[in-house]
Amino acid sequence: MTPLQAKPGTLADLEASYRQAALADDLGFAALWTRDVPLMIPQGSDHTASALDDPFLWLGGLAAVTRRVALATGAIVLPLRHPLHVAKAALTLNRISKGRLLLGLGSGDRPDEFARFGKDLESRDIAFRQNWEILREALSPIGQRSAISLANQNYPVLPPPAAQIPMLVVGSARQSLQWIAERADGWATYHREDLLLERDLP
C-alpha cells in the first residue's frame, strides 16, 4: 500500500515514493496499491487524518517510474464518484501504464464524507451496484458490450480497451458473496464473521 512513509496529516515525499516504487518494481513485487480518501477526516483513537493524493493521478506518477508491477486502487469509493468519470480516469491510467491497472472498488463507510458529497450513506449498497454496471459497460471491449448498450448508442468516454480492465470488489461493498462472485473479476478482503453468513453462500 503506497505511500509507504507518509506521516499522518502530511503529503508523501514524491521523490522518495518514486524511488520506492521503482525498487519494488525491480524486486518483483506483484502490485502497488493506493487508497481513495476523498476528505481529511480525523479517524482512530489518535484522531489523525490521512492526506492522500488523488488515487488515479498518484498511480499515474508511479506508472512513469515502473515497468512491470500492477497498479491497484484499494478502493475507489464508487458511490461518491460518477461512474463515467471513474471510467475515463481508469481507461487513461490503464493506457498510460500499458495495461497494468487493477481497479479496486468499494462502497465507502465514512458518514461525514457522504454528507459532504450530498450522498445517502444508507443507500450506498444500491448506488454501488448501479454505478458498477455503468462502469463495467464503459470499461468493456466492444465485443463484450451488451446488446442493450449498443442499441441505445451510448457514447463511450474513450475508445474501448483491447481487453477488460479487471474490476475488484474491496471489502464487501455491502454486497452478497453471490453478487461478488457473479460480477467481479477479483475480491480483496479480510476475515470477518459477517461475510460467512449462510444467506451469502451460493
pTM confidence score: 0.89
Q: Establish if 5 belongs to a structural domain.
A: no
Residue 4 included in any domain: no
In a domain, 2, yes or no: no
Residue 1 lies in a domain: no
The reply to whether 84 falls in a domain is yes
Say how far apart CA 202 and CA 198 lie, in whole Å: 9
Q: For all residues of the chain together, what is the average pLDDT?
A: 90
- 54 belongs to a structural domain: yes
- Residue 140: phi, psi to the nearest 5? -85, 145
Going by C-alpha positions, the residue among 195, 78, 48, 197 that lies closest to residue 139 is 78
- Tell me the residue length of the chain: 202
Pick the closest to residue 118 from 79, 77, 88 (CA basis).
79
For residues 60 and 142, which has the higher predicted lDDT (pLDDT)? Answer: 60
Which positions ≥6 away from 188 have C-beta within 8 Å? 74, 75, 104, 168, 169, 170, 171
The predicted pLDDT at position 198 comes to: 45
Using one digit for the tens of pLDDT, what is the confidence trace for 36-60?
A: 999 999 877 667 888 999 999 999 9
**Domain enclosing residue 115, as ranges:** 14-200
Q: Does residue 8 lie in a domain region?
A: no
CATH of the domain at 194: 3.20.20.30
Q: What is the pLDDT of residues 154-182, one digit of tens each?
A: 688 898 899 999 999 999 999 999 999 99
CA dihedral 174, 182, 134, 122 (to 10 degrees): -10
Residue 142 near residue 163 (C-beta atoms within 8 A): no
Q: Quick check: 124 pLDDT over 90?
A: yes
Which burial class, exposed, middle or buried, applies to 154 when counting CB atoms under 10 A from its CB (0-12, 13-18, 19+)?
middle
Number of folded domains that form the chain: 1
Instruction: Identify the CA nearest to 101 among candidates 37, 191, 197, 185.
Output: 185
pLDDT digits (tens, 9 = 90+) for 52-100: 999 999 999 999 999 999 999 999 999 999 999 999 999 999 999 999 9
> In angstroms, rounded to a whole number, what is the distance separating the alpha carbons of residues 6 and 13?
7
Residue 38 lies in a domain: yes
